[in-house]
Amino acid sequence: MNLLPPAAVMYRAIADRDRSFEGIFYVAVRTTGIFCRPGCPARTPQERNVEFFASIAACLQAGYRACRRCRPLEADPDAPPWLHRALGMAEHSLDRRLSAADLRSAGIDPVQATRYFRRRYGLTFQAFHRAMRMGVGLREIRSGATLGAAADATGYESESGFRGAFVSVFGAAPSRLAAAPDAIFRALWLATPLGPMLAIAGNDGVAMLEYVDRRGLPRELERFNRRHPRSVIPGSNHHLERVAAWLARYFAGDISEPDVRLHLEGSPFQVAVWNALGAIPAGATRSYGEVAVSLGRPAAVRAVARAIGANELALLVPCHRVVGVDGSPTGYGGGLWRKRWLLEHERTACSRQPTLQIGDRLLGRPSAVSEPSA
C-alpha cells in the first residue's frame, strides 16, 4: 500500500482524470457510497463529499462499493481468468455467505483465490465478501434502516448474528456508528521505508502511530480498545491524510514540524514528558536524565523512561531522539535498527536544510492515570 499524497493533489488528480495516480489511491464519494479509480470518467464529485483511501480493502471496510464505470476491482493487468467470475459471485451473493464449495462449483480453486485476494486486496476471498456484505449493512443503517432491516439486507437470520459480523469487520457496533459518528476512530495502514505503520485518528487528532511489527502493538491496541471500546473502524479522515502526507515528506528528507494535530491520552506527567520530547530539535538528542532535568524532576529518570515507553505516537512524538547517557541508542520499541536509521536520517537532513522545533504543537489531554513515581 502506498502513502497517500496530499488531499489537494489527489482531488486535482481526479478532476483531471489523471491515470498516473492509478494504484496510488482510491476516491470514495460519501453521497453515492461508491469508490473509484483516479481516472474514472464519471462526473467529478464535490471536494467536500470525497474521502481518499490507500487500498481497496480500506474502501470496502469503510462501507463503499466499487464503481461500475471504472471497475477498480478489476484494474489488474495480471488478473487470473477466474477473477471476473469470483467478483461476480461476491457481488451477486450479498444476501448469503460463500464457502469454499461455492468457489469449487464455479471452477475456482479456493486456495488460489485466497492467495490472490490477500495479495491483491489485502483480504482473503471470504473476508472480502464479508466486507462487501457489511458495506451493504452500513449503508442501510446510515440511511435510517433498523438493525433488523440491515440484517435482512445482508442475509443474516438474526440481529445478533449481524451485529457480531458487523463488529468483526468494522470494530464498532452498528448502533455506535449510526448514533455517534463523532466518537469513531479511523484506522489506516501506511507504508514507509521502515516498514508498515498503523495510524489511528478521531475527530480530535491522531491517537496512535506505530510500527505494525512492534512486539508491544497488540497490548497497545488492547489498552486503546479499553479506553475507546468498539470505536475503531478501517478508513481515513483529514488527520490521517495529514499524517500520510507528512510521512511522505519526512522520509523524503523534509524533517520540518508535522502539521498534524495529536490526541494525547495519559497522566499529566506522561503528557509533560511527551511535550518535552517534542521540544527536542530534529538532528539533536537528549539523554533520559536531561529530559528529567528539563521537567524539574532530576531524580525521575526511571519515570521518564516509563513515560517514553508508553508513547503511542512514533515519529510524531520523537522518542527516538532520547539516547543513553553515553549517547548510544537505547530502548526503542520499534527496534534499535530503526532508531539508528532515524537519527542518521535526521542528521543528514539537517545538514542540508534548517529545521523547526516542535514544542508547542502537542495538545495533550491528561487522563485519570496516576502520575508515576520517581
Could you list the active site residues?
319
| Rounded Cα–Cα distance for residues 317 and 311 (Å) | 7
Q: Which residue has the cell 481526479?
A: 14
- Other Cβ atoms closer than 10 A to 330: 15
Which are the contacts of 97, defined by CB distance < 8 A and separation ≥ 6? Answer: 126, 129, 130, 155
Contact 18, 9 (CB under 8 A): no
Contact 134, 142 (CB under 8 A): no
Contact 233, 167 (CB under 8 A): no
User: Which residues of the chain form beta strands (DSSP E)?
Assistant: 26-29, 34-36, 50-53, 65-66, 185-190, 197-202, 205-211, 232-234, 264-266, 286-287, 322-323, 364-366
The 8-class DSSP code of residue 25 comes to -
In the structure grid, which three cell numbers stand for residue 235, read together? Answer: 478508513
Least Cα distance to 272 among 311, 323, 243, 299 occurs for 311
Which are the contacts of 266, defined by CB distance < 8 A and separation ≥ 6? Answer: 274, 307, 310, 364, 366, 367, 369
Phi-psi region at 67: left, alpha or beta (left = phi > 0; alpha = psi -120 to 50): beta
- Other Cβ atoms closer than 10 A to 205: 18
| Rounded Cα–Cα distance for residues 279 and 283 (Å) | 12
DSSP string, 89-124: HHHT-TTS---HHHHHHTT--HHHHHHHHHHHHSS-
